[in-house]
Structure 1
Amino acid sequence: MIQRGYGHFGQLDEDAFRIFLQDLAADLAGQDDPGVEGDNEAFESDADLPEDGRADGDLEIEAARTAGIGYWTAYYRLLVWSYLWRQRPALAEAGLPILPFQPFADRDSSIAAISKRVAVRALGWVRPLPDEVAAPIMEAAVRMIGSPANDIIAIQRAYNEFRRSNSGTNAEQTQKRRAFLATFRFSTLPGESAPWRPPLSTVAPGGTVARAEALKATLELRELVNNVCDAAVIVLQSAAGQRIGEICGLEAGTDGQAGIPSCIEVRRSHSGLLDLFLLKGKLYKTRSAPVDAEWLIGSRPVGTDFLPPPVRAVEVLVELFRPWRDLAADERASRSLIVTSRANGLPWKPGTVNTVTNLNLLDGQKRFVERHVDLSRLPDRNPREEDLARYRRSRGRCIRTHQWRATFALYVNRIDNRLVPALAQQFHHLSLAMTEGYVGSDPTLLGDFDSSLMQRTVDFFLQATRENPPALAGRFAEIIERYRPEIAAVVGGRTGTDARVAVEEWVVEHDLRIWFAAHGKCFMGFNPKEARCHEVAGTTSWRNQKPNYAARETSICAGCSCFAVDGEHGDYWETRYRANQGAWLAAVNQGDTRGYRAVRARAEQAAAMLRALGREFPHVEVAGAA
């Protein structure tokens, strides 16, 4: 009410309620609240739902399960409106304005139903991590699960053996353990001149100082164990697109193929050229009970011993928590890939280790980023106008684990946009390996992919409404320019979240979708019959909603009336110009340009794009030139 300028309850009409729902969805998508992450995955039956959420059949229950992030947070915030409606008589008796409408009048508008819709919308607003944020985090995580992880596993194993084999008074044992930890020297990584971190503690005199140093060292070791776990989880999420709850449900074991953890199965691809690594676990979302599932998490050429980072991450987690599982409080924890303990330092007593939760892993990721990734030099915004300041100010603590799924969806689209049709069906493919292997049983990944496309489409049209929009090239740029005032009218005088909501509603209402590629943007949904790729392939039809990837290539797109390029694609066209202009000049230098007509045409085409974008032409080196 304060934010929107409402002075009393009598002003909270149906329009105010609609605005509240928009603000709530935007808040859920962006808030840094660990209570929201994965809060729907614990539903086992309708008994777990509030009374308002129960209904005949399973529709409301399933809606709650599949709502994505924020169901319970939305539910309890919406309860305030229910209380205001119930307290009308008391408010009126006190002479105060009352709520002018009933907010939850029927089943379709129950608190449970509206909470589900708000949560689904919030899920659609969860943005992929900007490249400037995702790349350094992934780099730090992959680094941590290499030699540093080996060090932590080794020192933990040695420490436990040392503790079992030593006798004496508590003070003597403390002094020995402190001295032992101080002697461990961490590895020096390739290309570096010093160990990746200093020793855990320094040898100090006896007494209380020695005990404090020993405690500090074991706490540091526990923190390093946590950091390795956090890094492994980041690698799994960023490279396999798993939900955090599905990672919590993975089980350990080492009786797999050729030393591979038993939760990973190695299969030969259909071509016989690749070994495919499939992670086996349980799917919880969209199911009334957990079902077996599998995800492709990497591949390698047959006959090689390379381990893809996600496979290495699982291997690290198996060994990292091996001594912990022996202390598990129950059978489930003894089988879990990742476990936790409330003990200070390393767990030592039986019954002190339990299964990990979504919130444990969410908090761990935030701690890892804060301590191991430097985001302090990020600008306020990147060239794509994504907000980087929030990541810099919070030191990464604003990151949500679900953002990795959206980031993964966007990455797959970028790495090989020809896979979009496959992604739109089941989101089981990543480059060549994913087209040859079966990724798993996760149909809701489709929502993350669709969400990333929609949000990038919204981003594009938001930029088009600015006073000085980014430069556009290509034939469709003329149409965008012609209708820019109409697009701006959608936003009107709105700013921030209100502007974004308006554009998103416009995009959804008109089913507008942009297909993104490295070389440009395809707007074929605006005029399907004009798509050159379908014309070349003989598949022209007004029903086409996506490009023909078998026929599409850069030169065809550049001459298509559905195609446009902006600054995001400048590097691609610069590289294309440099390669083709260099080849053409080399042919000229050799005095033989026969067969180079297409090369020259591609260079001229790239030059035209660069001129339209206002980019400077790169200097082209010609081998053998005088």
Structure 2
Amino acid sequence: MPAVRKIRSAQAATLHPSFQVDYDSNVWTFAQTTVGQQREFVTVDWAIPVARGELLTDYKHRGLLDELKCYLKTSIVDDTVRMTVGSIPSTYMGVRELVKFMGEREIRTLFDISTAVSWEYVEGLEEQYIMAGGDVGRDRAWTHSTAYKLIHPLTQIYELADSLRARGGQAPCEAPFDGRKTYDVVTGPLGLARTGGLLPIPDEISVPILTYAYEWIEHGSEDVIRLQAEIIPMLIDARSAKGPRRIICLREIKRHIEEFQMSPIPGTLTPWHEPLLATDRIDDAGDEREISGTQALRRLILMTQSACSTLLQACTGIRAHELIGLSLDHDPTLQHGVIKSVTSLDGLMEVFSICGISAKREATRHEWTAGLRPLGTKHMPIVLKSIEVLVRLMEPWRALSGSSTLMLSFSHAKSLPSGADGVGRMTANRNSLLQREFAVEALTKKRGIEMTQAIYEVRSLRPQRWRITFAHYVFRSKPELMPALRTHFRHMSEQITDQGYIGNDAALLENLEGERVMETSRFLVQITLGKPIGGGPAQRLLMQHAESMAKALSVMDGETLIDKAVAYVKLTDLRIWTGTYASCLIDMVPDRSSCNPHASLLTVRASPDFGVRSPGLCAGCKCCIILPEHRDFWEDRLLKNQTIVQADRINSKDQRSKIAMSRIVQSRAVLKMISKATGDASDRSGGS
């Protein structure tokens, strides 16, 4: 089929669920799928400057335009990529630079990009960003992140060559960058290392903030809710009044707010908050402004919401977009639609979880442990109290706007909303600004420092850092909780939690190593029992060596079997690598690794290649053992791919996704192995 006819055929095909745009349009608009983002839509404007005042949409460049449109659509709908809406802006950024480069070199088609030309592209980008660092109004920093975003589209286009040509598109005639991966190019020839990531919030900042937030919610939240309930009817009356009557009503509202008596802190005569009298405050721009009356109440409401969001993120590690996405209609069977309660296995405790949607890579259901209490008691963990306060505090504004989200924002700059247009959605940026404002007040009150000093100290405070702070707190408290922390964060790789969150602190790394020793030791003890402990290719190997392992442990020093196992692990320097979807025995059988085929050649301890490791690869690797604790991942994987297949049946004329189908088959097989090993008759790997 001629290329033009193939492209037209691709355009006419049934739209993919993630590609609901007009292919022929010069502006593609996608609805944002990650909640809490500043912009609700992502726009791709194909009128990209080429060279000499020409645009990609000009007739002479229509061929290249069609190739790039084909690439972007393919990357969204192709099973091997399935690019999310959140990744489109960075891809578009790289496409713009590629178009500019091709225009300057008068390259008309992607096919004409050779290996040599690809290196010229990289050199040009590096020179452009380094030499133009002084441009006003644009961040020209040549960093790992920037380079990756700009280079990756070209690498990805070549990787999709077969799919693109099947749809009438094009790809480079030779592998860009000598066939090297984008990450390898950025860290190798360009020498751009990834930064260490976000650091935990220092104790001198986090402790005062969390203490102040806790006291605000425990001692003051009822006052805020009560004052708001008293003022709203008065505002409705004032807005319906006219002339002198309206002025009298507004004065009465101001007086009521200023004379409102704040409750004392339990055990003292000191109010938890000063009266809401007229006061001057410094905003983010450094301008001084007076706050009084309804403006003071408005600020009190928003600060209460910030206290709740701070506690929720700091005490659970929930991301900003996950928190903002919590909705009271998420699940009608749960308390407030988001709180789940179960009894602990020993029947002594009631364990609470927050249920919602996580969309770091794609939208998936997730649960965050939110606290526990002795069964039958009325104690409310602070995380649940924060949810309860948010539900009640924002209820009038949900009713006004028709929204069901847990958190909201006020759209107008002053007073309280009078209509639906005055209530807006919360965004990650707005949440960050409000948390910093709350933090400034916390530091001035708890540490007694000047406001200017407090503003300086919280300048780099970001909600995401509460997640890192939470991880450090859990790990410092008890290193043995690291496996539970990985599960709580639902990290695909232990490397993300261990290296990305714990960092390089020597004392913490020593604790982390101790936790790995204990984890490996417990695993070896299970092996000696001679019973199946899980599924996967390595299970048969473990059964064969159960007796020899028992003999090896019996001669070690130690009072208990676990003590003997620890001694054995330290003597042999053996480690088991754990993860969300499988555990790896590469240190025991390095020559059988699928992700790291050269592991047996190493003179040091072998470890998985985290850049290659994946659920599909591990499930067939002879180093892999899949344990009962991995069941949740494989059940989620099964359900997710069943959903993909079902969507393809509806939207793609009943054409099944081959990749999704293979993952369904694999997930069912894994779940059956786990059930067989554990003697669990409730096989949850049923048909699609």
Query: TM-score interval w.r.t. the shorter chain?
Result: 0.5 to 0.7
Number of the residue aligned with 1:450 = 498
CA displacement 1:212-266 (0-9 Å, x = unmatched): x998311111111111111101111111111110111111379989x95342122
Q: Which amino acid aligns with 2:463?
A: T
**Map 1:94-105 → 2, pairs under 5 A:** 101-103=120-122, 104=151
**3-state SS of 2:466 partner:** helix
> Are 1:409 and 2:471 an aligned pair?
yes
CA displacement 1:360-388 (0-9 Å, x = unmatched): 11111111112222499799xxxxxxxxx
**CA displacement at 1:310 relative to structure 2:** 0.7
C-alpha change, 1:292 and 1:244, in structure 2 (3 Å) is same
Q: Which amino acid aligns with 1:280?
A: C
Which of residues 254, 259, 270 is equivalent to 1:183? Answer: 259
> Are 1:345 and 2:415 an aligned pair?
yes
**3-state SS of 2:121 partner:** coil
CA distance in 2, matches of 1:255, 1:81: 45
Report if the CA contact (8 A) 1:243-1:402 is conserved. yes
CA distance in 1, matches of 2:423, 2:389: 18
Number of the residue aligned with 1:516 = 511
**3-state SS of 1:335 partner:** coil
CA distance in 1, matches of 2:228, 2:298: 9
Which of residues 387, 399, 423 is equivalent to 1:314? Answer: 387
**CA displacement at 1:195 relative to structure 2:** 1.8
Q: Which amino acid aligns with 2:221?
A: A
C-alpha change, 1:326 and 1:403, in structure 2 (3 Å) is same
C-alpha change, 1:134 and 1:417, in structure 2 (3 Å) is same
Which of residues 289, 297, 320 is equivalent to 1:221? Answer: 297
TM-score scaled by structure 2?
A: 0.49
CA displacement 1:26-72 (0-9 Å, x = unmatched): xxxxxxxxxxx99989899998999676544155554785x8xxx95
CA distance in 2, matches of 1:248, 1:108: 35
Report if the CA contact (8 A) 1:327-1:351 is conserved. no
**CA displacement at 1:450 relative to structure 2:** 2.5
Which of residues 129, 151, 159 is equivalent to 2:201? Answer: 129
Number of the residue aligned with 2:352 = 277
C-alpha change, 1:226 and 1:446, in structure 2 (3 Å) is farther
**CA displacement at 1:189 relative to structure 2:** 1.1
**Map 1:103-252 → 2, pairs under 5 A:** 103=122, 104=151, 107-108=154-155, 125-165=197-237, 167=241, 169-201=245-277, 216-252=292-328
C-alpha change, 1:378 and 1:286, in structure 2 (3 Å) is farther
CA distance in 1, matches of 2:247, 2:323: 40
CA distance in 2, matches of 1:284, 1:44: 16
Q: Which amino acid aligns with 1:427?
A: H
C-alpha change, 1:298 and 1:105, in structure 2 (3 Å) is closer
C-alpha change, 1:194 and 1:40, in structure 2 (3 Å) is closer
Number of the residue aligned with 2:425 = 355
Which of residues 422, 428, 437 is equivalent to 1:367? Answer: 437
CA distance in 1, matches of 2:312, 2:292: 30
Report if the CA contact (8 A) 1:375-1:391 is conserved. no
Q: Which amino acid aligns with 2:464?
A: H
Moved more, 102-111 or 266-275: 102-111
> Are 1:544 and 2:563 an aligned pair?
no
CA distance in 1, matches of 2:185, 2:215: 40
Number of the residue aligned with 1:336 = 405
Report if the CA contact (8 A) 1:74-1:115 is conserved. no
Number of the residue aligned with 2:173 = none
Which of residues 337, 343, 364 is equivalent to 1:268? Answer: 343
CA distance in 1, matches of 2:514, 2:573: 19
**3-state SS of 1:239 partner:** helix
CA displacement 1:537-580 (0-9 Å, x = unmatched): 46535541579xxxxxxxxxxxxxx9xxxxxxxxxxxxxxxxxx
**3-state SS of 1:194 partner:** coil
Q: Which runs of 5+ in 1 are unaligned?
A: 1-36, 91-97, 204-212, 380-389, 429-441, 461-471, 473-512, 548-561, 563-626
C-alpha change, 1:58 and 1:340, in structure 2 (3 Å) is farther
Q: Which amino acid aligns with 1:294?
A: E
TM-score scaled by structure 1?
A: 0.54
CA distance in 1, matches of 2:379, 2:400: 33
C-alpha change, 1:327 and 1:121, in structure 2 (3 Å) is farther
**3-state SS of 1:265 partner:** strand
Number of the residue aligned with 1:292 = 365
**CA displacement at 1:312 relative to structure 2:** 0.5
Q: Which runs of 5+ in 2 are unaligned?
A: 1-33, 47-67, 108-116, 123-150, 160-180, 280-288, 522-551, 579-604, 606-688
C-alpha change, 1:178 and 1:266, in structure 2 (3 Å) is same
Q: Which amino acid aligns with 2:205?
A: V
Number of the residue aligned with 1:506 = none
Task: Count residues in correspondence.
Answer: 406
**3-state SS of 1:294 partner:** strand
Report if the CA contact (8 A) 1:277-1:299 is conserved. yes
Report if the CA contact (8 A) 1:248-1:338 is conserved. yes
Q: Which amino acid aligns with 2:395?
A: R
Q: Which amino acid aligns with 2:265?
A: L
Q: Percent identity?
A: 21
**CA displacement at 1:138 relative to structure 2:** 1.4
**CA displacement at 1:73 relative to structure 2:** 6.9
**CA displacement at 1:350 relative to structure 2:** 3.5
RMSD across aligned C-alpha pairs, in angstroms? 5.1
CA distance in 2, matches of 1:368, 1:531: 55
CA distance in 2, matches of 1:200, 1:117: 58
CA distance in 1, matches of 2:266, 2:186: 49
C-alpha change, 1:59 and 1:229, in structure 2 (3 Å) is farther
Moved more, 412-421 or 147-156: 412-421
Q: Which amino acid aligns with 1:266?
A: S
C-alpha change, 1:378 and 1:183, in structure 2 (3 Å) is closer
CA distance in 2, matches of 1:179, 1:261: 35
Number of the residue aligned with 2:488 = 427
Report if the CA contact (8 A) 1:129-1:403 is conserved. yes
Report if the CA contact (8 A) 2:440-2:454 is conserved. no
**CA displacement at 1:147 relative to structure 2:** 2.0
CA distance in 2, matches of 1:229, 1:176: 26
C-alpha change, 1:516 and 1:41, in structure 2 (3 Å) is farther
Report if the CA contact (8 A) 2:223-2:262 is conserved. yes
**CA displacement at 1:136 relative to structure 2:** 1.8
C-alpha change, 1:106 and 1:244, in structure 2 (3 Å) is closer
**Map 1:526-565 → 2, pairs under 5 A:** 535-537=564-566, 540=569, 541-545=572-576
Number of the residue aligned with 2:548 = none
C-alpha change, 1:76 and 1:366, in structure 2 (3 Å) is farther
**CA displacement at 1:420 relative to structure 2:** 2.1
Which of residues 442, 457, 462 is equivalent to 1:400? Answer: 462
C-alpha change, 1:241 and 1:214, in structure 2 (3 Å) is closer
Q: Which amino acid aligns with 1:396?
A: V
**CA displacement at 1:123 relative to structure 2:** 8.2
Q: Which amino acid aligns with 2:396?
A: P
CA distance in 2, matches of 1:401, 1:395: 15
